[in-house]
Amino acid sequence: MSNDIITKVKFAKSASIPLASVSGATKNSALAAMAQALDSSREKIISANTKDISAAEKLADAGKLSRSLVKRLKVDDTKIDEMIAGVRDVLKFDDPVGKTLSALELDSGLELYQVSCPIGLIGVIFESRPDVVPQIMSLCLKSGNATIFKGGSEAGNSNRAIFDVLVSAIESTEGIPQGAFALMETREEVNEMLKLDDYINLIIPRGSNEFVKYIQDNTRIPVLGHSSGICHVYVDKEADMKKALDVCYDSKVQYPAVCNAMETLLVHKGFAETFIPEMGKKYDAAGVELRCDERSFDILQNSGLLKAIIHAAEEDWKTEYNDLILSIKIVDSMEEAIDHINKYGSHHTDAIITENNTAASRFIDLVDSSSVMWNASTRFADGFRYGKGAEVGISTNKIHARGPVGMEGLLIYKYALLGNGHKVADYVGKNARKYTHKKLKAQLSGKMG
């Protein structure tokens, strides 16, 4: 293993200790400096990104890189504005470190506090999207976590430019330890990072299904993320036509190259004859290829929409297209839709369109996904849109953090027990003292002066 990698990781691990105790005011100063640095370095960042885009276009033309990855790679003034807004939103949040989550009196003068704290050293491995760097760096800084970044080679120039700009701003802020943030740049370093479970506390992968699955299968470090985004919209028999048309269009077409875009449309048989032809026209105008079950194919064929419809195969129900491709199935009941989603979905984001409150409630209860929508686009499943400022990723895990994960996914807790010479021996035996186990409203910070 490269000594350079070990040195960077060890240095970041050491820096994670003092970073955990940096004051909220100091972290906010660093975040403000990050936002300012992004704004004043637009030309440098866009110039670096132009080099990456040019190389990526050639790879895409040669069939060596998907067009969806090329789309995610682009950084322009609008994207930089979004990066700055994300950093400034994180700045507005309260300092999450050192919050008392619960307090319990065990006995008179013996008090137990559960307190939020950083996870430690986080490894972020991502493909294509350079905007991941400011998103996660701002959240990690605010939550007191040191971070190792490893981006894809296709975004190498962009990642380096953004990383250098941000780290220079952070490390010029008095009180921030040096070396808490590091960038890895070669493919070989990914596998080496995955072996460093003695130093790295959490891995966050961002990329394709195959990429995330590879990370999950090749490390002993806990992984926060999802390997696929097979999202569904179910249009119920009691749906409102306009809402159904708007939500289904937005869920697929607004930005198809992302994990929260719809991949399968399920339609109740009682609404299919009127809805599918109208929806088909909108999709046809947007250039969406439709892969249909027998019943939906027949409806679309009879409506005259022939140029972009084909018969769906079994594999289509479990495919994340990340493109203007959509599979469609007519179901006989909401229960069939729920069963289909739980069988073929990736537990990411699924929606129901209905005016029936009881049906919506049942759908939300029974669909086993990290986000479930009612009369709203699946595209809302996003950390920024959920008010988290930015997100570290979307997790389909059922432990630690789930759904669009913001700062809360970068925090854990510790217990602080405050006593006055208390000893366990007094609570054992014939005349043992009794625990009171009384909830307290006190904050640990108040007890510590």
Query: Per the domain annotation, does 112 fall within a domain?
Result: no
Q: What is the enclosing helix (H) or strand (E) of 36?
A: helix 24-40
Identify whether residues 384 and 270 lie together within a single domain. yes
Please indicate, yes or no, whether the overall pTM of this predicted structure exceeds 0.95. Answer: no
Beta sheet of 110-118, edge-to-edge order: 411-418, 110-118, 100-107, 438-439
Instruction: Measure the CA–CA gap between 169 and 17, rounded to whole angstroms.
Output: 20
What's the confidence (pLDDT) of residue 3? 67
Query: Per the domain annotation, does 418 fall within a domain?
Result: no
Domain containing 235 — which CATH number?
3.40.309.10
Identify whether residues 195 and 259 lie together within a single domain. no
Query: Per the domain annotation, does 440 fall within a domain?
Result: no
Instruction: Measure the CA–CA gap between 109 and 215, rounded to whole angstroms.
Output: 47
Cα→Cα distances 193→148, 178, 190, 214, Å: 9, 20, 5, 13
- Mean pLDDT along residues 323-329: 96
What's the confidence (pLDDT) of residue 2? 62
Domain containing 149 — which CATH number?
3.40.605.10
Write the CB contacts of 283 (distance below 8 Å, at least 6 apart in sequence): 249, 252, 253, 290, 308, 326
Q: Say which range, 47-51, 99-103, 331-335, 445-449, has the weakest mean pLDDT.
A: 445-449
Q: Say which range, 26-30, 121-125, 256-260, 270-274, has the weakest mean pLDDT.
A: 256-260
User: pLDDT tens for residues 44-70?
Assistant: 999 999 999 999 899 888 888 877 778
Residue 207 has pLDDT above 90, yes or no: no
What's the confidence (pLDDT) of residue 328? 98
- Mean pLDDT along residues 157-170: 97
Identify whether residues 202 and 237 lie together within a single domain. no
Write the CB contacts of 254 (distance below 8 Å, at least 6 apart in sequence): 261, 377, 379
Identify whether residues 187 and 330 lie together within a single domain. no
Identify whether residues 123 and 265 lie together within a single domain. no
Identify whether residues 145 and 160 lie together within a single domain. yes
pLDDT category of residue 134 using cuts at 50, 70 and 90 = very high
Q: Is the distance from CB of 374 to CB of 363 less than 8 angstroms?
A: yes
As given in the structure block, the two tokens for residue 263 are: 């991949």
Instruction: Calculate the CA dihedral of residues 220, 225, 230, 234 and round it to 10 degrees.
Output: 130
- Mean pLDDT along residues 164-187: 94
DSSP 3-state of 310: strand
Identify whether residues 8 and 90 lie together within a single domain. yes
- Mean pLDDT along residues 290-299: 96
Q: Where are the alpha helices (DSSP H) in 93-177?
A: 132-142, 156-171
- Mean pLDDT along residues 222-248: 93
pLDDT category of residue 227 using cuts at 50, 70 and 90 = low
Write down the mean pLDDT value for the chain: 92
Identify whether residues 349 and 381 lie together within a single domain. yes
Write the CB contacts of 349 (distance below 8 Å, at least 6 apart in sequence): 229, 231, 260, 369, 370, 371, 372, 373, 378, 381
Distance, first Cα to last Cα, the chain? 46
- Calculate the CA 226 to chain-centre distance: 8
Residue 128 has pLDDT above 80, yes or no: no
Query: Per the domain annotation, does 271 fall within a domain?
Result: yes
Domain extent at residue 44:
3-96+119-224
Residue found under tokens 């669009």: 404
- Mean pLDDT along residues 68-92: 90
User: pLDDT tens for residues 336-347?
Assistant: 999 999 999 999
- The total domain count for the chain is 2
Please count the other Cβ atoms lying within 10 Å of the Cβ belonging to residue 24: 15
pLDDT category of residue 112 using cuts at 50, 70 and 90 = very high
Identify whether residues 198 and 238 lie together within a single domain. no
Identify whether residues 174 and 145 lie together within a single domain. yes
Identify whether residues 124 and 267 lie together within a single domain. no
Cα→Cα distances 259→340, 350, 393, 423, 432, Å: 19, 12, 10, 53, 58
Q: What is the enclosing helix (H) or strand (E) of 270?
A: helix 269-286
Helix and strand numbers (H, E) in the chain are 15, 17
User: pLDDT tens for residues 417-426?
Assistant: 999 999 999 9
What is the percent of the chain where pLDDT is above 90? 73
What's the confidence (pLDDT) of residue 399? 75
Sequence letter at residue 213: K
Q: Say which range, 105-114, 152-161, 220-229, has the weakest mean pLDDT.
A: 220-229
What's the confidence (pLDDT) of residue 392? 79
